Amino acid sequence: MIFFRISGFLDYLLFSRHRNGHGIHSPFIFDLISRVFRNKTANDIVLKIEEIRKRCLSSERIIRVTDLGAGSLKMKGDLRKVSDIAAYSAVPKKYGVLLSALAAEFGKPAVIELGTSLGISTMYIASGCPDSVVYTIEACPETSAIARENFNAAGFKNICFMNESFDEAIPELKKQSVSPGLVFIDGDHRREPVLRYFDQIVEISNSSTVIVLDDIHQSREMEDAWNKVKLHKSVSATVDLYRIGLIFFRRGMSRSDYVIRY
Distance CA 133, CA 212 (A): 17
Q: Give the mean pLDDT of 226-240.
A: 96
Taking only Cα atoms into account, the Rg of the chain, rounded to an integer number of angstroms, comes to 17
pLDDT tens per residue across span 168-212? 999 999 999 999 999 999 988 899 999 999 999 999 999 999 999
Distance CA 74, CA 158 (A): 32
DSSP H helices, the chain, are 2-15, 27-31, 43-57, 82-88, 93-106, 120-128, 141-154, 166-175, 191-203, 220-230
Residue 238 and residue 257 in contact, taking contact as beta carbons nearer than 8 Å: yes
pLDDT band at 72, cuts 50/70/90? Answer: very low
Q: Specify the pTM.
A: 0.91
Residue 234 and residue 249 in contact, taking contact as beta carbons nearer than 8 Å: yes
* CATH for the stretch 2-42+90-259: 3.40.50.150
Sort 44 into a burial class: Cβ within 10 Å, 0-12 / 13-18 / 19+: exposed
pLDDT tens per residue across span 126-152? 999 999 999 999 999 999 999 999 999
